[in-house]
Structure formats: structure tokens, C-alpha cells
Amino acid sequence: MSKLKVFITRRLPQVELEQLHEIAEVETWTERQPPPYSVLLDKVKQIDGLLCLLTDSIDKQLIEAAKSLKVISQMAVGYDNIDVAAATARGIPVGNTPGVLTNATADLTWALLMAAARKIVEAEKFVKAGQWKTWEPTLLLGADLSGSTLGIIGFGRIGQAVARRARGFDLKILYYSKHRKESELEQSMGVEYAELDTLLSESDFVTLHASLSTETYHLISDRSFQLMKSSAILINTARGAIVDELALYRALITNQIAGAALDVTDPEPISMDSLLLKLDNVIITPHIGSASYQTRAKMAQMAVNNLIAGLKAEKLPNCVNNEVYEQLE
């Protein structure tokens, strides 16, 4: 019997592939840049399993061309690059990697928040440029965390992990999410629910942890910045397109808010023409929220496990469209 065929769109870190090799012929894209769309479109015509990343556009056209595809396994928790409805319509399960990257992403959020609050990046540039001449009472002043208010937008696993870290720094914590959490959870975590406008106007730090959808696209807009404090700092480690970046630029140059720290942009990578790159009060990192050795290894293994399950026609351990199984019942 001929082996199943699998395409993996990039080299994976520290992953156990033996079980996969037993059942499938595996082709891995080894270049640093993702496979171009045309290459991917061609590949999917011949494969049974696809392991992809958030940099691959898995759209309707591609899914419809993938006649023998049995599983799409994404090495990420977010899957806004995949047309899940098109996959579901074809009965193809889509896997993701929730949970294992929660702490790493919350840690990076915290690192960015503190770096922006205390101007770490500016301070480091200042020293390396030879500008450190003396201790000055007004040099590089930032914001206190203690006693400030943190507004968390999106209160799933990562939002909650950020809230746990905030308690150690004595912040008041507001959160907004589509569905309010049970009061027991709010009490045990020491957080208060707030409507979005209230959260924006009362927070000193606003951090985004929602997934990208038609509802959250440009959720943070000109209007949001008008509501925010002029001393506020925006942190985004979720998805770039949740923020209208031109509105953010306008807010920063008119001092509507004090600063921003972004691990995600729209598009990615950020265009070198982006006006945001010219501002000192913006920190930008290249989507490294989950980039720790242990976390990336766990994500890769989870993605491989989802892929193997899909190839064996077993339920994926982590599936975003469980409806595909209901269709079979």
C-alpha cells in the first residue's frame, strides 16, 4: 500500500517525527521564507496531511484544490490564516496548539509592558550612543506599575495568565471579553469586568489578547485612542490587525497616548516604510510571543500529534472545528 503524503511548511524545532515517518512520506519546506502561495497550492493537490504555520494562507481556493487532504494542522493557537469554514465544508479537521504557549506569551507581554513603561529600549540606545554623562533627576522618566490600572481585552488563557502576573505588581485589573466570566473566577483572580469604553478610558496599560475575527478587526481605532488616557500605553501580542495602525500612529504623534509595544503588526513583517518605525515611543518585536525553546518544541509536537491523528482518521487531540465529527455521526 502506498504511504500517505504529508507537507510541512517549515523546519520544526526539536520534534519527534518517528511515528509520522511510519505512516507517511514527509516533505518539509527547508527555506527560511515560507513557501510561496503558488507552491503551496501545487503541493496540496498531492497530499493527505498539511502541517502549516500562521504565515501560510490556507484559503478556500487552496482547500478546494486539496482533493485528498485529510487534516490541516497548524503550529499555533491562532488560526486566522485558515479558512476554517471551507475546511469544515469539506469535512477536514483543523488542529491548533492551545495551552502550551500561554505562559511564554504572557511573559513576553509582561516584558513589553515593563520595557515600554520604563523606557528600557530608549535607555539602552541612549547608553550605547554614548549619551550617558551623569545621573539626572529627569532623565528617561517612565510610569509606575504599582497602583496603576491594567486593562486586558480578551480574557482567555493568555489574558488570564497576564492578570496573574499583574497581581504581583499591585495593579488594579479590568478586563473586557465578549462573554463575562463567572463571578467566582473574577473574585479568585482579583479582576473586574468593564465595558470596552470604560476599560479604555480608565486603564494606564491596555493589553490585547483577543483572537482576530471580523468582530475584532480594527477593534482599536481612532475612537478608542480618543477614549484612552494621554499617559496610556498599548501592548499587543495577539494579532496586528486588531489595531488600526494608522490610527495608532496618529494617536502617538498627537500625544493621545504615551506609547505602544507591539509584538504583532499588520502586515507581518512590518513594512520598512511604516511610520511606526520612526517613533521612539514604540517598541516593536517580530512576533516572538511563544518563542522559547521549550514552548516551540511543545507546539511542534502538538501539531505533529494532531497531524498523525488526522492521517489515521482519529479525532484530533486539539481540533478547532469539531463540527466535522458531528457531520459523520
Q: What residues act catalytically?
A: 239, 268, 287
State how far Cα 114 lies from the chain centre: 19
CB of 112 to ligand DGY, least distance (A): 14
CB of 78 to ligand DGY, least distance (A): 3
Give the span between the Cα atoms of 158 and 135, in whole angstroms: 38
> Between 94 and 252, whose beta carbon lies closer to ligand DGY?
94
> Between 78 and 151, whose beta carbon lies closer to ligand DGY?
78
Q: For residue 269, is the peptide bond before it cis, meaning its omega torsion is within 30 degrees of 0?
A: yes
Reading the block at residue 89, the C-alpha cell is 465544508
Which residue, among 289, 178, 197, 195, has the nearest Cα to 240 in the 3D structure? 289
For the beta sheet containing 233-236, the strands, ordered from the edge strand earlier in sequence to the opposite edge, are 191-193, 172-176, 149-153, 205-208, 233-236, 259-262, 282-284
Reading the block at residue 159, the C-alpha cell is 489574558
CB of 324 to ligand DGY, least distance (A): 21
> Between 43 and 239, whose beta carbon lies closer to ligand DGY?
239
CB of 164 to ligand DGY, least distance (A): 19
> Between 65 and 288, whose beta carbon lies closer to ligand DGY?
288
Note the residues at the interface with ligand DGY (CB under 6 A).
54, 76-78, 101, 289-290
Reading the block at residue 120, the C-alpha cell is 528600557
Which residue, among 297, 289, 293, 309, has the nearest Cα to 73 in the 3D structure? 309
Give the span between the Cα atoms of 141 and 149, in whole angstroms: 19
> Between 74 and 149, whose beta carbon lies closer to ligand DGY?
74
Amino acid at site 52: C
CB of 279 to ligand DGY, least distance (A): 24
Reading the block at residue 114, the C-alpha cell is 515593563
- Residue 140 in contact with residue 123, Cβ under 8 Å? yes
